[in-house]
Homo-oligomer: A and B are copies of this chain.
Amino acid sequence: MTQTQDTLSIRQMCDAFDVTPRSLRFYESKELLFPIREGTRRHFTKQDRARLALILRGKRFGFSLEEIRQLLNMYNRDGSNAAQLMRTLDIARARLCAMQAQQDELGLAIADLHLEMAEGQRMLTRMQQASPKTSAPTHHAAE
């Protein structure tokens, strides 16, 4: 229960999260992570691990590191005062809006692409029927 030394080296972090040392140092330089500095060495705490998990998720969602930094502040309740919290919420609202717009556009694009692909598929089928390279057994889009 009293685990006093719950900290990872940079290499252990890399292995645990499948990132490069460069990235971790970069994130620290951008103030996304704050490992304990024992002299020159870094020690990543449980907090850092949690933050890194959120960073990686954010990246998958297409956020920039700067945006992620903003959101981390919200997740962490660093800004313990109302004004700061309100600004953070504003940022979140804006991001949310953008994300929803993007999701909608993505939906449209997906539908369009489906249509174009169907058209291409039809053309391909016609072409293959026109010039059968092999004697062509019933080759129905073999997956």
Contact = CB atoms under 8 A, between A and B. Distances in A.
A30 interface: no
A93 B95 CA distance: 29
Nearest to A93: B117
Interface stretch (A13-21, A42-50, A97-105): A97-105
Q: How many copies does the complex hold?
A: 2
A116 to B, nearest CB: 6
Interface in A123-137: 123-124, 127-128, 131
Query: How many A residues are at the interface, by size bracket?
Result: 35 or more
A75 B117 CA distance: 9
Given A93-B117, A99-B110, A105 B60 contact: yes
Interface of A: 57, 60-62, 71, 74-75, 77, 81-82, 85-86, 88-89, 92-93, 95-96, 99-100, 102-103, 105-107, 109-110, 113-114, 116-117, 120-121, 123-124, 127-128, 131
